[in-house]
Amino acid sequence: MIAKISEIFKSIQGEGIYQGVEQVFVRFFGCNLACAYCDTRVFCHEEKTLEELMQQITAYGDYHSVSFTGGEPLLQAAFLKEALKSLKRLNKITYLETNGVLYNALWEVIEYCDIISMDFKLPSSTLERALWDEHREFLKVAKTKEVFVKAVIGKDTQLYDITKSIEIIKAVSPKTTFILQPQHPFEEELAEKLAVFEKICQEHGITVEIVSQLHKQLGIK
Ligand code: SF4
């Protein structure tokens, strides 16, 4: 079994509710989306066997968890499942960073995921088509484990996309935390917009946090 992997490295988690914890990152190659703000487009990869991947991960010593990221890791679900399974056998914490669309693939691996960081791709931020139905189905599966939802907020992000996100979270998994992630670099005009979005989430009883990308601020990977 072989996977296309762009990079493997140890660093700190820069986003979401686990910001600051030390992780080993496995970046899978390729994505099914094309978000306007994407900063992880890579054009090269290596092919790795499961044994090669596990050897590299275990060589890192101590860390909080292993983060499978991308691109979109669920595009290579069969390999991902085996990697997650191997890590659970070693009692490691597994963390899946995903664009929150491929819910059938999530079914295949959910048993071996501990933490899921899923995106809501807001059309006014991504400048792509709406994916609300996919996100709703994905969250239904993800909520069987620890999950939080993250959305990138840019200066063009529209209130409608926030109210739609709130509607889905309330209907599917009302206790799930919603992370508003300002697009990097932070522009002052975004502060007011974030405050308005945060207040609306709170008024609907959603746990909301504004979390900037720490690794970008620190200039690390
Ligand atoms: S889902 Fe992530 S990796 Fe894929 S295009 Fe969007 S930002 Fe980039």
220 lines ligand 1 (CB under 6 A): no
pLDDT digits (tens), the chain, 221 positions: 999 999 999 999 999 999 999 999 999 999 999 999 998 877 789 999 999 999 999 999 899 999 999 999 999 999 999 999 999 999 999 999 999 999 999 999 999 999 999 999 999 999 999 999 999 999 999 999 999 999 999 999 999 999 999 999 999 999 999 999 999 877 788 999 999 999 999 999 999 999 988 877 777 77
Q: What is the pLDDT of residues 128-169, one digit of tens each?
A: 999 999 999 999 999 999 999 999 999 999 999 999 999 999
State the Cα–Cα distance between residues 200 and 130, nearest whole angstrom: 21
Q: What sign for the dihedral angle of Cα 205, 206, 207, 208? A: negative
State the Cα–Cα distance between residues 173 and 55, nearest whole angstrom: 37
State the Cα–Cα distance between residues 136 and 133, nearest whole angstrom: 5
Cis-peptide into 185, omega within 30 deg: yes
- Residue closest via CA to ligand 1's atom 5 equals 34
38 lines ligand 1 (CB under 6 A): yes
pLDDT of the residue at 42: 76
* Phi, psi angles (nearest 5°) of residue 170: -60, -40
- Does domain 2-218 fall under CATH 3.20.20.70? My reply is yes
